[in-house]
Structure 1
Amino acid sequence: MAGDPRVGRTYAGLSRAQRVAQRRNRLIEAALELFGTQGYAATSIERLCAVANVSTRSFYEDMGSREALLIALVNRISAAAVEQAVAALDRARDAALPVRLLAVFRAYLTATCADLRSARVLHVEVVGVGPTVEQWRREQRRLLAALLIGEADRAAERGEIKPRRFDLFALAVIGSVQALAQELVQSTTPGAALSLDEICSEIAFFVDGPLGSG
């Protein structure tokens, strides 16, 4: 009985699945460099393949499209950032709610903005790409909003704050953080560089007002 053609032969000691994984990883690394420096719109598939040392045929077989590559990259960046944010929230579990929420955003922004390339890709280059990437952005907002809403609801149950509708507040905070992160990457005020500490100070001011008292 013939083997499964999808498995393929080993080459240089690697299975087909391993070779595909290596090519995908090189393409994601190339996307980080090129999308994060030149921009998504200015980066061609041919340039990505050249930097990743991958043929265009393999690109379409392994990745499918430039949008799919962008989503694979931002998924990697965001997943690591959310993991750091959840860990920070756990470490701050005994602090007041505004402090806990600030810990979430500081961890998330530290993870996404430590490298200006990843900051540009996640906070700037994903905007306005197309329906598929926009759907990813909506899902990402829902994920972060659910984290904030769940924490606010638990705080209300414990009597830290008054119970109310927190979904709009969560979206407002996320939108503000997104705008501040974009300003960090591409300042709209000449000569006015923005630091992560300044962003976090502004977030603290934003969340402390509505959530600081019970």
Structure 2
Amino acid sequence: MAGRITPAEGRYAGKAASERRDERRRRFREAGLELFGTTTGYRGTRLGDLCKAAGLSSRQFYEEYRTLEDLLADLHLHVNDVAGKAVAEVLPSVAHLTVPELLPAVVHAYVKGACADLRHARIAYVEVVGVSPRMDRQRLERRAVWIEMINRLAEEAATRGEIPPGNYRITAAAIIGAVNGLMHDWVVGWVDATLNEIADELAQMVLGRYKIAG
């Protein structure tokens, strides 16, 4: 039965158990990012392929994860965190700007954070779709985080009188849905555009919804 095995405690080869575990997880994540995020994809990856790419054994895999889906879920959270960090880093430098100036900067930061590494984009927008109810819940939970952030920015702008009052939570949900749809189509090659063109289009869409001239 697949299940997580408790690794031995103590030091081995000069490394503590926690250090060895961190190293294993890093190598499995790197292998998963490469295999899940390329043409192989999550559904085309077998445990043996992953372990070979990581240079580790299946026994070591089960010390960290129960299933390949656990690794996919781990990577999905990671790539979302990378995009979130990109937005968080730009916010202090644009907080003083008006909405027409702030929103494009935030959109460009998000797109760059989410998609500069195409493997991240593939995992976030393609590989996790339709995998399982558990992954669907995780996707929705992460979408809720982005919806809340966009809604908060809109409510603050409305309070300052920069945009008309309204129910911007619905708007935020619509924006996130559009982002996911567009990025999915871009990753699989149905949309021929650069990342800057994608970000510009999304920024104009957002500005238009908030009735702001770009």
Structure 2 residue aligned with 1:80: 82
Is 1:210 the counterpart of 2:209 in the alignment?
yes
Q: Is the 8 Å Cα contact of residues 98 and 211 (structure 1) preserved in structure 2?
A: no
Instruction: Give the Cα separation in 1 of the matches to 2:16 and 2:43.
Output: 34
Instruction: Give the Cα separation in 2 of the matches to 1:129 and 1:98.
Output: 38
Structure 2 residue aligned with 1:183: 185
Which stretch has the larger CA shift, 143-152 or 62-71? 62-71
After TM superposition, give the deviation of residue 98 of structure 1 in Å: 4.0
**RMSD of the alignment, in Å?**
1.8
Change (3 A) 1:193 1:213: closer
Alignment gaps of 5+ in structure 2: 1-5
Of residues 84, 108, 119 in structure 1, which corresponds to 2:121?
Answer: 119
Is 1:195 the counterpart of 2:187 in the alignment?
no
Instruction: Give the Cα separation in 2 of the matches to 1:157 and 1:35.
Output: 43
Instruction: Give the Cα separation in 1 of the matches to 2:179 and 2:53.
Output: 32
Alignment gaps of 5+ in structure 1: none
Which stretch has the larger CA shift, 17-26 or 101-110? 101-110
AA aligned to 2:75 is L
After TM superposition, give the deviation of residue 184 of structure 1 in Å: 2.0
Matched ranges for 1:1-214 at <5 A: 8-37=9-38, 38-188=40-190, 193-213=192-212
Q: Is the 8 Å Cα contact of residues 77 and 118 (structure 1) preserved in structure 2?
A: yes
Using structure 1 for the length normalisation, give the TM-score: 0.90
After TM superposition, give the deviation of residue 182 of structure 1 in Å: 1.5
Change (3 A) 1:213 1:119: closer
Percentage of matched positions with identical amino acids = 37
Instruction: Give the Cα separation in 1 of the matches to 2:125 and 2:152.
Output: 24
Runs of 4+ in 1 over 4 A off after TM superposition: none
After TM superposition, give the deviation of residue 159 of structure 1 in Å: 1.1
Structure 1 residue aligned with 2:3: none
Which stretch has the larger CA shift, 66-75 or 142-151? 66-75
Using structure 2 for the length normalisation, give the TM-score: 0.90
